[in-house]
A and B are shown apart, each in its own frame.
Chain A
């Protein structure tokens, strides 16, 4: 096994140089709540760990004219404490805050949750539904990538060698726009989603849905954006017929596996239930804005 080295560069160019120059596997360290577990179990055997947390701006939340900028390594706890972000994106925050325990929240980051590339990652469905963009930096410069295009398979991302996520951009919510995230686990805390669902809705002044994005987690190899579910409720006030159509569209989009957490049939049924419930929460929140 090659000897492991550690570096904590204080700038983006230094971090890129280190990551791109590594001969063997180089891993980015943010909160470490997944990476340290994988190191210990031997599931990953990097030769280099690049700790990004000394890079200015990679931890912290800024509100701009265009919305919010969340540093890639910002902890879940810090995200949950940001009142402006909680008000603007309650669904993104509740998904993020469902990851692990209080202790895990003290370290776990959005970039880590995304790049660990689990289909069950709790922060990802609501981020995709919000239209969040990841700012990716690397040897060929900077590119802005919609969050939904980062994960390409379980454990695999579209990031090239030398690239890492610097920050996330969330657009400023429109009037009457809000979101929600729900997951099913067989207990009340400390578990991995059997199904997750993020919903982002925009209403007009009469309460008619004008825009919608419904994203499912843990029912396919990657998160699923269910366009048919959005179509099923756009133009409605989320009446019973719209909810039934939403439920059916969510179920139809599922391609899950059976494992110890749930069967294909169970996951498929729950996807419809969560889509309905999350949509109702997002609808009420949007209407109250």
Chain B
């Protein structure tokens, strides 16, 4: 049967793949492009573990069809670090021990990056509401929020 050919951009690099109409973008990223950082938690848009950006907009990749990526610009967790140098958010998540099993972490990092791109100086309330669609079942949210607020402050240049 004929699959659909899709040409897209992932983390700044051109990418192409063949997929079935009903395949989710999450499945395409993980199984066809070997970008396994995005996780599948619920598959229904409730948990945020598959968070990516699509043309700069934060979305759940499980709620996007692979074919919809045609001509789009995709950002995944794999694009966050600069080579071997961790993004400040990643570093702060480690410093604050804001992860245990780590399953929700890629989604939280992608979602937080999108928050800070839009609003570099969020209140704690704004950060908590923004991240309400990213569920964590073991770390607890306080350490995550502390890491987010600390990283935001550092990225604003408020402490050396």
Residues of A within 8 A of B (CB): 3-6, 8, 29, 31-33, 36-37, 39-41, 49, 51, 53, 75, 77, 100-104, 106-107, 188-190
Contacts and interface: CB of A to CB of B under 8 A. Distances in A.
21 contacts: A4-B20, A4-B21, A4-B22, A6-B4, A6-B65, A32-B65, A32-B68, A37-B45, A40-B24, A41-B44, A49-B21, A51-B67, A75-B57, A77-B57, A102-B114, A104-B45, A104-B60, A106-B58, A107-B59, A107-B64, A188-B132
A75 B55 CA distance: 13
B62 interface: yes
Interface stretch (B46-54, B75-83, B148-156): B46-54
A174 B100 CA distance: 54
B63 interface: yes
Nearest to B56: A106
- Is chain A's binding surface mostly helix, strand, loop or mixed? mixed
B58, B59, B67, B132 — most chain A CB neighbours (10 Å): B59
Contact of A51 (B68, B114, B115): B68
Contact of B133 (A29, A37, A39, A101): A101
Interface residues on B, range: 20 to 34
A79 B111 CA distance: 19
A211 B134 CA distance: 42
A189 B76 CA distance: 25
B133 A190 contact: yes
B70 A8 contact: yes
Given A6-B4, A189-B129, A104 B63 contact: yes
B88 interface: no
Contacts of B115: 102
B28 to A, nearest CB: 13
B64 A103 contact: no
